[in-house]
Structure 1
């Protein structure tokens, strides 16, 4: 019998959500979405529509903003896990 058998699936899922929501705000993503071939930048024509999603696969992304001015190059959209990610060719 595993230690986890003492908990329901709902208990375990709630714990995962609690841990994710209490993560440190200074978390630095390992890879940003703009390095993926499915990332689309806004072409600047007209105003940005509310439905605009930079991901061609329509994934929900998080945005990382630097905590200090020292980290000004470390910002942008990211996903912690993305099965569709393909590195942009150099």
Structure 2
């Protein structure tokens, strides 16, 4: 359900998922990172959005952490989901 409706929050980015543990969400073409450079991950909005969705839909104790960011030079923004 999250991937199917990802257009509502990822804009022109492309969200893919990988089963875990930990589960991973990968966002290529992240609108927040397009043209940005940083020395730390900058996708707090997506991490918080994914965490809230997983807590509501999957597990109340789900935690999401961004482990890779396009603004740091990575090919995609990657988020790990643990519960």
Q: What is the TM-score when the length of structure 1 is the normalising length?
A: 0.24
Q: What is the TM-score when the length of structure 2 is the normalising length?
A: 0.26
